[in-house]
Each structure stands twice: as structure tokens, then as C-alpha cells.
Chain A
């Protein structure tokens, strides 16, 4: 596919986040070039205050080092300032003459500190607080001089002042008004903040207006309009920022306060040019905080990836002060008006102040000082427009006071911050879940899964999500019913359907759906796969497998990877191999230019990055060398892991490798409710880790211990001991019987570990141990199912089966 050229001007947080989002959506769409004025990779600008305060280093705040640009094929021109955009030729030109052609252009030039046009403002030692260079200047000055003056008592000014004080300077904060951070704080909170900073040694000159900066070449003092003067070796201007529109203006883009953009982040003058971040004006607003920039980045990336479905509609913002030891949070309209009501708590002695502004029982704004743990909760309530009348009387006491706090473990999850990650697989935070529950009025785990993806992947966070659900909706929470229908297409359970299939001789999927009055004509990806398996298990010699009811991994007999390529794992029985086999695998890897090979946890060789079209030819070569499919992709028996055993090991009691090979020859190819693994250890040292496998055999002097139901997955489970037997023949018989019992009894997608916990070990022991006739019947049925199952799918496809599956249609248009 032809790649377009995308050029980004500005290597800051907004621009690079856009690239990150874009690479997730459309990694191969563009040749990307980045121009950055600063001589670094991309760093977290909002963490400059902690760097100044020596709480973090520059290295710790780097977001993407230069390797990231290399890894993603991005050309980075660092330390190069773009001075011209030629829209007619679609080129950007840097001061050093570098030219880059663009099909699409992103301007993310950020903002510049607003410098007061005072007499003497050009002297050495007068700076803004914007980038690493400014921080370096401040640190350098602090090491040699005493007196710092920070003009501006806003968020940035106080962070700079705090940092300089930590570097040992005498710091005076000059502010035009009588309250600090007037855009974020009301008077009582501002007064408490000022008192606390003064106690740390900061000096304040409130209601002072600067007249002139004095000195020869370097600043020596600051004079105010009231005639007073104070000494100064460093003056930091932190009176605000202004969008950096210089380049946009010179390119003829329409600018007001910032470069004006539409809801898709395209400039309204030229749709080929996007603008994003602090240089932008969107619906009249120019943002100076990070959350809106990230939202904008997402939208711009979506548009650049040509999905074209996202719109930016503005952001409600909140503020925190990054001064260690001072807790401060504000959001929304915290001053209020005659339509609003205030709920206020103030305890000067403990240094705590909370004010919530309500209108019609909805939070409109909040200021918290001293205790900010509930800030994000209030912010959430505000953004959601939640009606708080039900808990208005305890609102100020925070989220802990909702529900039955202190009496059950649910409070643990309740006290987590909103940004605590609950579901690691899908990156879902507590806040996302709470929001989904309250906003969309969710009541069951399945609903939460559907809306947030939390616990939808590995499921290890299910308990947390359930607690969160119980806590958030309180008494209305309905626990997940114990008997769940198979899926949304039916009211019947897995067990109902499995029994029905046998009892009523239902032998095709349409017959099952008709009998159980399915609600959908074709079923869904859940029940299609389950029914296909249940029918295959019930009628192994009769049932015709339905390829379209299998996950792509089983349909393509390879594991689909994140980029749509596949992996190939040849079977190596019991982990054994010969030099010829290794050579054959190496030859195949060379021939098909396999980019990555690795030894798997199941002691086999995995070849990654294979295009689907290549699979049949590769399989043909592997078949010719004597390999069959390792089923490393299937809900099927996968591997038998072995240790060396008595042949070589000085501790080995039995031939564990040989037994492993026999077990694998017995079980390979069998379809299972879920993936299934075996292991054989030659002695109780258990080098094959047999006690975390679905079936583990541990050889001892007197015979073989059979262990079942182990799992090394997300939730590790050690096996239960099934029994001890004396001969290899018994191992094979008991193993086959156990496999068959599991195949016939478990629900589809239920591994042996949760299955045994659900049905109980006794039931399994009864079926296999107490009733020898039943065991033999199970083993017999297993052997019968294996006859049609042990057909190598790779060979069949290499010989032409399902050819269309692997052959794309090429058209010239």
C-alpha cells in the first residue's frame, strides 16, 4: 500500500501522543517525520516541577527516548526549528534548510510563557518556566545566587517557587491580586495554601505590580509600582502562557488566540493540516492542561487513521498542585453564584478545607485543600451530572461513607483511587468502571464486562469488579446467577444442552438450535464454538466439523498474532528431537524467512510472523520432514512436557521421557473443552513441573502418581492426586479415561482446574477409580474419538483442503 507522508512539528506531549495513538490504529499508514526544537526525545513536561525540586531526574520524565522513534520508523529531527510551511508545495522548511514534504501535517507547537513587557525584561536571569532549558537555568542560578523572584502566584508560579526554594534560594512570590491561584481556589483555600507555603519559608508580596527589572547586564533587583524594591538574581515570569501560533500565522492559517481547529482537530483553513495541544483554539477555548491534549490526540489520530468517527467536543478540566506535601484539588465552578449552594467544611487547625458547589443536587465544582482523596470522585460526579440528593448529607465525608463501609472487604476496592488499574489486560481503571456503572445504570458483571471490557479477557480481576459493582450500586446489585445460560442466544445451560444432544440424538447445529428454540438464526461466536465442540465430542465418527464455527486459530491451524500474522509450532513428541529434525526446522525457517523463533514453555520450537498465505506451503515442507501440527493454537491437547528420566538422570526412577512420548502419541489431536497439557516427571523433584498440568505423572520407585487439575495460568492451581498405579499401561488407560470424562463433562472453555473445583474431586474419582467398568468404557470412547482426530490438519491443508481459506483474491482495481 502506498504510504503517505505525515509531518509533525513539535516534539511535545500532544504531538507525540497523537503519533502513539495513530500507531495503534494504523501502524503502516504513514512515513512519519518529527521536528522538535528541543534537543531531546519526548518528555513529560508537566513533571518539570518535580525535576526542579530535585524529586525526579530528567531521565525519569522521558516518555519516549530516541530508540522509540527508531523502533517505529519515525524520522526525528531534534533541535531543528521549523521556520516555514509552504502550503502550495506541501513542504515544511527548518532553519537549517531541512525540507520535508507532507501529505498531512500536524502542528503541535505548544505555548510560550507570557513575558510581561517590563523595562529590563531582556536582562540575563529573566526567564519563563516552560522547558528543560529553563529548568537548567534555574538550577544553575540556584547554585550560584541567593535571591529569586517569581512573578505570578498561579499554579506554575507556585511550583517554580517551591522548586527554587528546595534548591536553597530565598524566594519571593509577587502576585497582582490578594489571593493565590485565583483561577483554581476560593479565598479560604488560597489563604490556607499561602499560610502553609509561608511556613515553609516562601515570602509573598500580594497586590504588588511589577514596574521595572533593574540591573546592568544581569538582573539585580525588582522595583514595584508602589516604589519599593527587592533584590533579585533570578526573575521567573509565570503570569500565564499564550498559544504559540507564530508558525501557523505565517502559514496563513486562521488564528485567534490559538490556531482555530474544528472538532476533528483539522485547521479550519486547510484540512490537510491538523493542529493539536496548547497552540490550538477549539470552540473558543485554548487549553493549558494535559488531559484535554490527550483527548485531542485521540481524535486527531482517529481521523489520520481514516476511521473518521471521533469528534472532540471539549474537556472539563481539574487541577492539582504538584508541590510535595500540599494537597490541593479544584475543578469546575468553585465560586458559585446565586443559583448554587455551597457545602463547606473548614478546619484550620488540621489544615483541611473542602467546598462543594451544587446546583439542582448536581456537583458543579469543588475545591479541596489538605485532604484530596475524594477529588476524583467529586470530579466524576461533576462530569457525570450524578444526582447526589441520596447521599448529600454525607457528600463531604467522601466516597468511603457510601454503603456499608468498615464492615466488609468491598471497602478495600472502594478506597482505591479512580486511576487504580483494575483490569490489567484491557487497561481499565476503577474510574472507568464506576463511571460505566453509574452512567449506564449497569447491574450485572456481564453488563460491566460488555461496557468496559474489565475482566473480559483473563478474568483474574472478576472479584474486584464484582466488589466495585456491589459497592457502587449498593442493594440493587444482583449477584451473577449460579446457573447461567450458555449464551444470550438461549435460556438453557451448558449441561442442559449437552444432555439434550445425547438424549434426543441431536446431531447437527441447526437441530440443536431448533430443539432448544434458539433466539438467533446462526447463533453467536460463543455458542457456535461450544455446540461444534459438544457435537464433535458426542458423535466423533459422524459429526462433520464446521470450520466457520471455530476461532480463527483452529480454522487456520496457527495462532493469530497481534499484526494478523500466524505462528507455527511443529509437534515434538515428549520434547524429543533429532539433529535431522532440527535441521529441517531450520531449513524451513530459512526458506520462509521466519523473523522470530523461540523455544516454548512446552519445550517445542515456535516460529512467528508467518503470513497466512504461506502456511500451506510451509506445512507441506514440515510434513515432508515428518512433523505434524503441535495444536499450539487449539482448544485441544497441546504438549507433554517431560524431564530426562531414568535413561540419563541419576535420580530418575522411570523412563519419564519414553512415557511422555507414549502419552503424547495417545492423546495428540484430541479436541478438548479448553487447552490441555500433560507432563511426566521422572522423580519427585518434578523437573517437568507435572503438578501444575491438567494431567501430571510423577514417577516414583514403586510406580506412577497421577495428578489432575493443575493450572499454571493466571490463577495457579496445584494438582490433586488422583491415584497411584504400577504400570505404564495403567497410566495410559487412566489418562485416556480422565481425558474423556473431562471432555464429556466440562463446559466448553472450562479448564480442568475450575471444572474440578466446580464438580468436586469426588465425582472425578468415582467415575475413574471406583468403577473399573466405567473407566474402561471411558477409555474405549476416548480411543474411538482419537481415530478420526489423529489426522494431521497441516498435511490435509498442504494437500489442498480448505484452499480458499488461505488464498486471497487479488484484483487490480
Chain B
């Protein structure tokens, strides 16, 4: 299992907003819900690759800024009636810090 990497302090992510994390391989959007639950998802909508980090979050869902697809942040699946899925990454909060696990 790969190790956990500290990426950002929780309070540096706006509530119902996101921060963009750039790694060598991919861009990842880390979202913070109104309940401080965090989610990490590949920053590309399964539809046309729109930057999900720039979308509007509601509940545990983000709406893609390009064509309004709605993506469930927990599973990465597009909500019906759309079909598609974007990778999600393991993420946790400890001591006010957000940790990501990269495959």
C-alpha cells in the first residue's frame, strides 16, 4: 500500500469548494463539504474532461463547469441520466490536515 501524503490544511479549502492538487501524473481536485467531509477526484469530467475543481459543489456532488454533468464525489460516478466515472482517490483528515493516498 502506498503511503499517505499530506497535501493541505483542511481550513485552506473553502467550504463547499475545492483546491487543485497537481501531481506528476495527474491533477486531483480535493473538495470539502459543508460537514467537513473531504473528497478527492481526478480533475477531469468523464464527459469532455472539464475541470471538476472549478465546478459548484452541493451535498457530496460536484457539477462540471463545462456542461453541467453531475458527478458523485464519493464514487466518481456521473449521476443519472448521464453515464461515466472519474477516478477517486483515498483521502483523510487528521489533525486538521488533509492526506491523500496515491496509487
Contacts and interface: CB of A to CB of B under 8 A. Distances in A.
B22 A548 contact: no
A813 interface: yes
Most buried by A among B12, B24, B49: B49
A481 interface: no
| Chain A interface category by residue count | 35 or more
A254 interface: no
Contacts of B48: 24-25, 562
A810 interface: yes
B5 to A, nearest CB: 5
A528 B27 CA distance: 27
Interface residues of B, number: 43
B89 to A, nearest CB: 11
Given A808-B22, A811-B7, A813-B102, A307 B58 contact: no
Contacts of A520: 58-59
A808 B21 contact: yes
A560 B65 contact: yes
B14 A804 contact: yes
Contacts of A26: 49
Contact of B65 (A524, A549, A552, A812): A552
A639 B85 CA distance: 40
B82 to A, nearest CB: 9
B69 to A, nearest CB: 10
A308 B86 CA distance: 9
Nearest to A309: B85
Given A525-B63, A548-B14, A813 B58 contact: no
Contact of A549 (B22, B33, B56, B85): B56
Contacts of A808: 19-22, 27
Contacts of A548: 14-17, 56-57
Most buried by B among A453, A547, A551, A811: A811
Interface in B1-42: 5, 7-8, 12-17, 19-27, 33-34
A564 interface: yes
B15 A813 contact: no
A809 B22 contact: yes
Contacts of A185: none
Interface string A591-610: 00000000000000000000
B58 A809 contact: no
A550 B63 CA distance: 12
A526 B14 CA distance: 20
Interface string A244-258: 000000000000000
Contact of B54 (A456, A549, A560): A560
A521 interface: yes
A800 B52 CA distance: 24
Contact of B19 (A521, A523, A564, A804): A804
Contact of B46 (A309, A440, A562, A810): A309
Contacts, number: 105
A1 B25 contact: yes
Nearest to A613: B20
B96 interface: no
Most buried by A among B12, B22, B27: B22
A321 B23 CA distance: 54
B58 A525 contact: yes
Interface in B30-84: 33-34, 46, 48-51, 54-59, 63, 65-68, 81, 83-84
A204 to B, nearest CB: 49
A610 B100 CA distance: 29
Nearest to B79: A450
B24 A813 contact: yes
Contacts of A328: none
A278 B33 CA distance: 49
Interface of A: 1-2, 24-27, 307-309, 440, 450-453, 456, 520-525, 528-529, 547-552, 555-556, 560, 562, 564, 612, 804-805, 808-813
Given A525-B58, A548-B17, 12 more contacts: A1-B26, A2-B25, A456-B68, A522-B16, A525-B68, A548-B14, A548-B16, A548-B57, A551-B65, A552-B65, A560-B66, A811-B7
11 contacts: A25-B48, A27-B49, A522-B16, A524-B58, A525-B56, A549-B56, A564-B49, A564-B51, A808-B20, A813-B5, A813-B102
